Amino acid sequence: MSQQNFNDNIVNWTFENYATLASLVSGIAICLLVFYIYSRSGSLIFLRDLMWRFFGGSTKFETEDYENIRKNLREVEYYRFEFNIPAQNLADTKLAEEWIKKNGFCHRDVARVRKYIDWKDFNSLTFKEALFSKYAQYMFFGLLFIFFLIISISAPLTNAKYLMVSLRDAPEAPSFYLSEGDAKFSFFRSTPTLTEKECQSPESLKEIFNKEFTEKNINIICSLFDDKKYREHVNNGLKGQRGLLLTIIATSIFSVFCILVRISRSSIAKKLHEKIHPPKRKIFKK
């Protein structure tokens, strides 16, 4: 296939599938938005109201008691979404407000540390101290170090010229590395290497034979160089390897972001907890 035909195929594919891709992305975005609203508000009464009104349904009850119940449900849903406090009724909202004002908290801080508060009993709200203990902090920083280590190791490997492979018919043999022109048998050492020229020299091959790579295994590797599509296979493998590494890096970066958010929120939770229960100061006697 010529380069022109290849480019034409790309353009045709892009425009032919643009509507499908746009619809797919839009659908996923809408689903994520609805999920976010539901996870924060705990219900989708507003969405049901929109559908009801769209089909011509009545917007209010004629009976006053039912109308008050309807308004209270929507008031609680709006309160949950606005302040990220999982109240179940208006009584819970009042108790939550009293607790916030009594302790001098900020609504924004309470919303950010929702998962660090035990909301089972609004008459006696408490913090989940285990989530922001020293051990939890050490664990988060340990995970942060691990993901930074993964990123620092994976990033340079995205430009690697060698593809890590193994022999299918010799599972006992360790993995080795192929490039367009040679093969090497150690990740850290650049020698010894095996090239097509060395494969034609029995003396050179004897220097490479060892317990892990027998003569049979080396001959199999040498046969790879005879394949006309060898370079194409290596390049395709490198693309797949690079894609996997980039996926690992992207996942690690996202994990680092989530951990930093978690550390930040645990610090806020600890600060709010210390407002209620100030840490005891150690007094040393002289």
Mean pLDDT of 107-118: 94
Least confident of 3-17, 28-42, 124-138: 3-17
Calculated CA dihedral for residues 25, 30, 33, 39, nearest 10 degrees: -110
* Among 78, 112, 76, CA closest to 94: 76
pLDDT for the residue 190? 66
pLDDT range class, residue 6, cuts 50, 70, 90 = very low
Share of the chain above pLDDT 70, in %: 87
pLDDT for the residue 266? 93
First vs last Cα of the chain: how many Å apart?
A: 88
Check pLDDT > 80 for residue 54. yes
Mean pLDDT of 100-122: 94
The pLDDT tens digits of the residues spanning 116-143 come to 999 999 999 999 998 888 899 999 999 9
Check pLDDT > 90 for residue 79. yes
The pLDDT tens digits of the residues spanning 219-263 come to 777 888 877 888 888 888 888 888 889 999 999 999 999 999 999
Which stretches of 42-180 are DSSP H helices?
Answer: 45-54, 64-83, 90-103, 107-112, 134-157
Two tokens, residue 89: 């009724």
- Asked if 125 contacts 99 with a C-beta cutoff of 8 angstroms, the reply is yes
Check pLDDT > 80 for residue 21. no
